[in-house]
Amino acid sequence: MALIGVALAMGATAASAQTRSSVTGKIKRYTPSCSSAPDALITGRFAGLIGFGTPGTVSIEACFYSVPACEAWLRRASGEIGGRIFLAVCERRR
């Protein structure tokens, strides 16, 4: 039981240490930009809060050639933030 409490405390510390720029930078390192894929058919949009109770938000858009690639990106990006996700969608590019 004591180990669980330690793990939870360590996780809370890591989540509270997140900043908007560190999380955005980490996600953007593996995010394909829409300008580099002008003929991609799928747009992915992701937005959420950083940490729990932290006032920062993250909002990122990416373009993909397939829905599965977009969905994989959304799963990975959602794991980067320690707070609530507002938007996680893959849709046909306009």
Question: pLDDT for 54-64, tens place per residue?
Answer: 578 889 999 99
DSSP 8-state assignment for residue 1: -
The residue with greater pLDDT, 21 or 77, is 77
**How many other C-beta atoms are found inside a 10 Å radius of the C-beta of residue 67?**
14
SS in 3 state form for 3-15?
Answer: HHHHHHHHHHHHH
Q: What is the pLDDT of residue 19?
A: 80
Q: What is the pLDDT of residue 62?
A: 96
Q: What is the pLDDT of residue 83?
A: 82
